[in-house]
Amino acid sequence: MTIMAFQDNYPEDLSHCYGCGKNNPHGHQLKSYWDDDETIALFTPKPFHTAIPGFVYGGLIASLIDCHGTGSASAAAQRAFGSRDETPPRFVTAALNIDFLAPTPMGVELELRGVIREIKPKKVLLDITLSANGVICARGHMVAVKMPESMIS
Amino acid sequence: MTIMAFQDNYPEDLSHCYGCGKNNPHGHQLKSYWDDDETIALFTPKPFHTAIPGFVYGGLIASLIDCHGTGSASAAAQRAFGSRDETPPRFVTAALNIDFLAPTPMGVELELRGVIREIKPKKVLLDITLSANGVICARGHMVAVKMPESMIS
């Protein structure tokens, strides 16, 4: 059995996100999964994703936390309120707070871990860490909300 | 007289940031300037910088706010504490909080505006807005700190 990433369950016409959409060939195509009750994603930055030489630029860190967060919110909402046959709801970010705790080194696979803190059908609060070599480099807190119908046309 | 962007005053060996480094040919090369006591930067996303079709992905918004913020902190610290002949200090982000207020439309030049809230030699607090067509789509609050010597080698 192939385990599908959260993002690979998004509807085809909502799968163009630069951070995580499978239909965006230019983008990062981040893939997130369950790991027991937490969520996990792995990503190795490209050599040009630098801040200053040797370290990953903050915008990529924010992007990975953001996309792992909305993916985790989608999967958590489906697990809590949906059925297996339904397409998971798509979530967007209302608020993203990131503390950069240590410089993130280049040349290393980064691990994102999400913990769902509160879940309602249209709103999910979650915490996400980004680690390199087992050291937490950034910690994010997110408010994700169900994508408004007005964005889907 | 040519007005140089904040980022073009960074030292050559600290100018590789994907978001704003002039020495990163793959990156966004964001350019920030003074506009009276505020700071300003303009940026038009590429067609592939989508969230869902029609809107800009959150990671780019975070990246632009982040790089405009550290650039603004650098310029503000130099204006407050440095001399014109000195190379401005380089700042990094300690905390980045973003509220996404409205979807950011594609195909539009985005305007970033920074307001310095508090300034010390090694720490700058600032607020940044990102607008499209005159509408504020995202609002960021940042804590920027002077780059630690340990990051420069």
Asked if the model's pLDDT at residue B153 lies above 70, the reply is no
Cβ atoms of B81 and B121 within 8 Å: the answer is yes
| pLDDT band with cut points at 50, 70 and 90 for residue B61 | very high
Which of B48, B55, B93 is closest, CB to CB, to A27? B48
If you search the block for the tokens 């969520």, which residue do you land on? A39
* ipTM at complex level: 0.94
CB-CB neighbors (< 8 A) of A53 in chain B: 13, 16
Question: A19-66, pLDDT tens digit by residue?
Answer: 999 999 999 999 999 999 999 999 999 999 999 899 999 999 999 999
CA distance A111 to A98: 16
- Closest residue in B to A24 (Cα) is B48
A57 contacts B19? CB cut-off 8 A: yes
Is 0.90 topped by the overall pTM?
yes
| Core vs surface per residue A75-84: b (16+ CB within 10 A) or e | bbbbeeeeee
Query: Which fold would CATH assign to domain A6-151?
Result: Thiol Ester Dehydrase; Chain A (3.10.129)
Give domain limits for chain A. 6-151
B2 vs chain A: nearest CA distance in angstroms?
Answer: 26
A-B contacts at Cβ under 8 angstroms: 145
Q: Please report, rounded to a whole number, the percentage of residues in chain B having pLDDT higher than 90.
A: 84
Please give the single-letter amino acid code of residue A128: I
Q: At what angle do helices B58-81 and A58-81 cross, to 10 degrees?
A: 140
Classify B35-151 by CATH class: alpha beta
Asked if the model's pLDDT at residue B27 lies above 90, the reply is yes
Say what the pLDDT of residue A3 is.
86
**Probe site for chain A from B14, B17, B49 (most A CB atoms < 10 A):** B17
What value does the mean pLDDT of chain A take? 94
